[in-house]
Amino acid sequence: MLKQKFIIGLVALAMLVLGFQANIFAKKKQANFKVRIENISNSDGLQATDGSKYPFALSPGMYVVTNDKMNFFKVDKKASDGLELQAEDGNPELLSKNLLTIVGSTKMGIFNTPLGMDKPAPILPTGAYEFTFAAEEGMKLNFLAMYGQSNDLFYAPEKAIDLFVKGEALSGDITDKLMLWDAGTEVNQAPGIGADQAPRQKAANTGTAEKGVVSLVKDGFSYPNTKDVLKVTITQQ
């Protein structure tokens, strides 16, 4: 009888172990995603402090998809050289290069060519960027791009975005995840008219150094509500 109970106990333990292993190695859900970033600002432009108008533009940017909470910056900390180049000149190349060894090329990318165009450029009113990637449960998306005609402002989520919610692939409008940040690397001028902003600056990286930290923009100038100039959607392919 004792031998029989021992055998039954071993069988139960084996089933428990196998069930535990099955849960560990259960296949995670996977999906292909497409992100579309649209410039929906008024084609008449945004009003500057001097009464003139300037077109809202969004620069090329980059995205990262990882299992970790990969962030491009830390609030109240100095911006990296890569983030400075992205925030001041809309150039994601250095930031992308610096992150390449951390996340790998299959989990990141640059978006820089507007739909319908054949070379890199900012998106102006009615313009859009799109990028696609594959991901599985547990992965997160982070991305950023420069606010055109600013000194060092950029859009990015406050934290990486979960790509699966309760086991379902994320789909819909995610514009509300974006926030406008100040890299703290160059002294801000009034948007749309500053001499050290593209397209008026003589060359890249020519503004007055600020030596500040990354924070939400609070420079006293007026900026549009994000939802009034951008629309970001994610869909499962």
Does a cis peptide bond (omega within 30 degrees of 0) precede residue 122? Answer: no
CA distance linking residue 177 with residue 155, whole number of Å: 10
Q: In the prediction, which pLDDT does 25 show?
A: 56
The predicted structure's pLDDT at residue 20: 44
Above 80 in pLDDT, residue 204? Answer: yes
Check pLDDT > 70 for residue 6: no
User: Given this model, what pLDDT does residue 68 score?
Assistant: 76
Domain for residue 4, yes or no? no
Judge whether 105 lies within some domain: yes
Token pair listed for 8? 């039954």
What does the pLDDT read at residue 13? 46
CB atoms within 10 A of CB 5: 9
Q: Please check whether residue 11 lies inside any domain of the structure.
A: no
pLDDT at 195: 95
In a domain, 21, yes or no: no
CA gap 206, 195 in Å, rounded: 10
* Among the ranges given (2-6, 113-117, 175-179, 218-222), the one the predictor scored with the smallest mean pLDDT: 2-6
Evaluate if residue 7 carries a pLDDT over 80.
no
Residue 40: give the domain boundaries.
Answer: 28-236
The pLDDT of 114-142, averaged and rounded, is 97
Q: In three state form, how does the secondary structure of 164-185 look?
A: EECCEECCEECHHHEEEEECCC
CATH number for the domain harbouring residue 168: 2.60.40.2130
Number of structural domains (the chain) is 1
Residues 55 and 125 sit within 8 Å (Cβ to Cβ): yes
Strands 153-157 and 128-136: unpaired
Would you say how long the chain is, in residues?
A: 237
Look at residue 186 and tell me whether its pLDDT is greater than 60: yes
- pTM over the 0.85 mark: yes
Model pLDDT for residues 19-33, shown as the tens digit of each residue: 544 444 567 899 999
The whole-number pLDDT of residue 8 equals: 52
Q: Please tell me the predicted confidence (pLDDT) of residue 100.
A: 85
Amino acid at 213: V
Q: What digits encode the pLDDT tens for the residues 72-116?
A: 999 999 999 999 999 999 999 999 999 887 777 668 999 999 999
Give one DSSP letter per residue of 179-221, joined into a string. Answer: EEEE-SSB----TTT-TTSTTTSSSTT-SPB-----EE--SS-
The Cα diameter of the chain in Å comes to 95
Asked, for residue 22, whether it belongs to a domain, the answer is no
Q: In this structure, is residue 20 part of a structural domain?
A: no
Q: What is the mean pLDDT of the chain?
A: 90
**63: pLDDT confidence band, cut at 50, 70 and 90?**
very high
Question: Structure tokens of 237?
Answer: 């392919």
Q: Which two tokens stand for residue 101?
A: 């060894």
User: Which pLDDT value is given to residue 26?
Assistant: 64
Residue 102's pLDDT is 75
Q: Quick check: 11 pLDDT over 70?
A: no
Strand boundaries in the chain, DSSP class E? 30-39, 46-47, 53-54, 58-66, 108-111, 128-136, 140-147, 153-157, 161-162, 164-165, 168-169, 172-173, 178-182, 215-216, 230-236
- Is 45 inside any structural domain? yes
Could you give the CA distance from residue 203 to residue 196 in angstroms, rounded to a whole number? 9
Q: Does residue 216 fall inside a structural domain?
A: yes
**pLDDT at residue number 105:** 65
